[in-house]
Amino acid sequence: MQMFSKKEVTTSFDLVIGPNSMVNGNLESEASVRIDGTVIGNITAKGNVILSERGRIEGNIICDNLEIHGQCTGNVKSKGRIDLTKSSKLFGDIVCMTLNTETGAKFEGNCRVLPETNIEIVTQVSHEAPAPEPYAVYNEEFDDVANM
């Protein structure tokens, strides 16, 4: 029996961490993220986050909806729903609007399911190109040397 509808699963991702990849640092995305590898750091996404069976996250997650198939150690907050599948392992606290769990899912922590969750998702992702770094910096000390 399939608990989660296939049409709810996001098929387009802004960021995919492959099964042979490891990221050590925080991730921010304006869209959805799929983790098939390892992330050691916090994830903030204005879209959905999917952690595959082979995926592992050591950090907190804030997102629209979260689907866990792999292992997550950290607190998770979702504006919508959190799905814990039968292969999932979550060690941390949950705050969400809706929580779905399959038989066999492992969860250790506190859980708050609130009908209206006012979680603000803030990222520092900019769509503007960053200003280029200066090529050289003028230093008055060397001005005297040039005049010798």
pLDDT tens digits, 49-107: 999 999 999 999 999 999 999 999 999 999 999 999 999 999 999 999 999 999 999 99
Pairing of strands 15-17, 106-108: unpaired
What is the pLDDT confidence band of residue 123, given thresholds at 50, 70 and 90? low
Residues 6 or more apart in contact with residue 7 via CB below 8 angstroms: none
- Please give the residue that has the higher pLDDT: either 145 or 109: 109
CB 19 within 8 A of CB 35: no
Residue written as token pair 């599948």: 85
